[in-house]
Amino acid sequence: MKLLEGKTAIITGASRGIGRGIAQVFAEQGANVAFTYSSSVEAGNALEKELKDVGVNAKGYQSNAASFEEAQKLADDVVNDFGSIDILVNNAGITKDNLLMRISEEDFDTVIEVNLKSVFNMTKAVQRTMLKQRKGSIINMSSVVGVKGNAGQTNYAASKAGIIGFSKSVALELGSRNIRSNVIAPGFIETEMTAKLDEATVKGWREGIPLKRGGTPEDVANACVFLASDLSAYVTGQTLNVDGGMLT
């Protein structure tokens, strides 16, 4: 029996990187996958076909999670297309790094809006369906930066720390209806973005991690499978660091 058989998941920001990895592993575990992308139509179409080839129902939606109205419409569309929403993975996120003395108000606001407000938008959008079902698992993607901070990332750290506080509050509000809310805090995950970095820099980061390697999107996805499945039926309000021991 696959761990997510018969469940429907919404995954935001899934056209590449960690989001794409989560979509692939969820499909392999039997979940029907509704996913969003912002501008990469070609990548979205390719992922939709790839997931369908696994044998599950899958559909990509071009939707901006930072928009309250678009998030509401997405939730309605997914219920119409799939019939239920059992899992929500809030993965959409961006960075606009700079030292505090140089960061612009616009860059601060944009990161908060895309990374943090999108979690509010999407959680509020799926809440009604999950309350009717009296079940649901919400998984919010934070970061080790949201746990410990990082110089040059005040906006990103604030958004990711905010996700942790938000998720704990949702866990307290919705626990009586069997709706769980948890957080994944990835560490250094090697994706298309990190592949563009200088190899010496990446090697230095790997050496500072107890497991001596960067993580993969699949490492994060496997943790999401646990939190999405009935294996974690008694787990809510928690933050799981998937960081190779980086914060230990």
* Angle (deg, nearest 10), helices 154-174 and 118-133: 20
Residue pLDDT, tens place only, 42-95: 999 999 999 999 999 999 999 999 999 999 999 999 999 999 999 999 999 999
Residue pLDDT, tens place only, 137-193: 999 999 999 999 999 999 999 999 999 999 999 999 999 999 999 999 999 999 877
Burial of 212 (0-12, 13-18, 19+ CB in 10 A): exposed
CA-based end-to-end distance of the chain: 35
Phi, psi dihedrals of residue 136, rounded to the nearest 5°: 165, 155
- On whether 160 is known to bind a ligand per the annotation, the reply is yes
pLDDT for 39 equals: 85
Question: Annotated catalytic sites, by residue?
Answer: 156
Residue pLDDT, tens place only, 96-114: 999 999 999 999 999 999 9
- On whether 16 is known to bind a ligand per the annotation, the reply is yes
- On whether 67 is known to bind a ligand per the annotation, the reply is no
pTM: 0.96
CA-based nearest residue to 88, from 180, 157, 163:
180
